[in-house]
Amino acid sequence: LMDIDIRELLSACCGLAELAGRIATDVIVGGDLQISEKEGPEDLVTIADLRIQAAITGALLKKWPGLHIVGEENVPPSPDAVDVDTGRVATYIEATKTSSAPENSPGYLYPLNSLTVYVDPIDGTKEFTRGIYSHVTVLIGIAHNSEPLAGVVYQPWYCEGELAAQRPQRIQHSTPRLFWGLVGFGLVGVDEEKPNVERGLDSLIAADSHTRPSPALAIINPQKIIRQGGCGSKCVLVLTDEADVYFIGTYTKKWDTCAPHALLRSVGGDITDFEGKRLQYHQGVEVSNPKCVVAKKHHAAIVKLIQ
C-alpha cells in the first residue's frame, strides 16, 4: 500500500482551494450561477459548487488514485484534471523551522488508506448566491483515521467595513485569505503581528448564525455576538481571535468542520459535541454532526459552563 506525504497532499489542497476561488470568480463574472435547491430553500447548490467539487476530486485522484474523498456535492471527478503543486508546504516548514523544533517530530508519511479528504467546494452557498462573498469559504480537510490532521480554509473574497456592507459586494475590491494548518506544526495565515487578546470567560465574544441562533449563548452571556453566514467563515473568526466561541446547531456535516477543526487543533483549539467529545472523521462515519462547540482558547471551560 502506498504512503502519502501529508505535506504534499496539503500543498495540493492549498493550490486547489485557490483554483476553486478562480472557478467561482469566473461563475460570478459570467452572471449565471445556475442555482437549484437540494433539500429546501436554505440548502442551495450552484454550478460553481459542482465545478469546484469535480476539479478538486479529479486533481487529487489523478495524483493519488484510490485516495478516499468525501465531498458535499455528488459529482464525478473532472476528467481533464489539473496537475497539483506538491511543494509549498515542505518549503514553508523548512524555511520557518526554528532551532528548537523537535528533531523527533512525527513523520510526514501516512498510509493512503488511513486518510480521508473532506471537501466543501463552497461553504456559504446561500451567501454566495446573495452576493455576500466575504462569508464564503472553500474547505478542504484531511483526517488521519478519526482525527483531523491538516486542512485548508480559503476565503477568496475577504473584505471588511464599508466594502463588506455593499450588496452585492464588489469582488474586485476584495482580498483572498488562505489559512492552512497541520497538527504538530501549527497554523499559517493568521496575522501574528496582532496583539494577543486575552478575554476571560465573563467577557467572551461569540460567532453565531443569522438564521439559527444558538440557545447555548444565553448560558455564557457573551459581551458581543457577531452574526454572519457560513460555518467556515465563523470558524475563521475563532481562528483569528475575533471571536472566542461558536456553537453550531445540528445542521452541519463533516465537510463543514474537518478543515477548520484541523486548523483549530494545530493551535490547541477543538471542535467537540456539547459533552466535550471530539468530532470524528474516520471512513464510514456518520456525516451529520451533532451540536458542536468551536473554540480555540477556552474550549474545556466553555464545555463545562454549558453542562
Angle between helices 6-30 and 88-96 (to 10 degrees): 120
Q: Which three cell numbers stand for residue 83?
A: 496537475
* Cβ count near 192 (within 10 Å): 8
Q: For CA atoms 157, 137, 69, 116, give the dihedral sign.
A: positive
Strand partners, 247: 293
The kind and range of the H/E element at 176 are strand 175-182
Task: Point out the catalytic residue in the list 46, 49, 57, 208.
Answer: 49
User: Nearest Cα to 285, choosing from 148, 80, 101?
Assistant: 148
> Is the separation of the CB atoms in 143 and 283 below 8 Å?
no
Q: Is 125 considered catalytic here?
A: yes
Measured CA to CA, the distance from residue 40 to residue 264 in angstroms comes to 31
Distance CA 143, CA 96 (A): 24
Task: State CA 159 to chain mean position distance.
Answer: 18
Catalytic residue among 25, 57, 116, 125: 125
Compute the C-alpha angle 43/47/48, nearest 5°.
90
Strands (E), 159-233: 175-182, 186-188, 205-208, 224-227
* Active site residue ranges: 49, 125
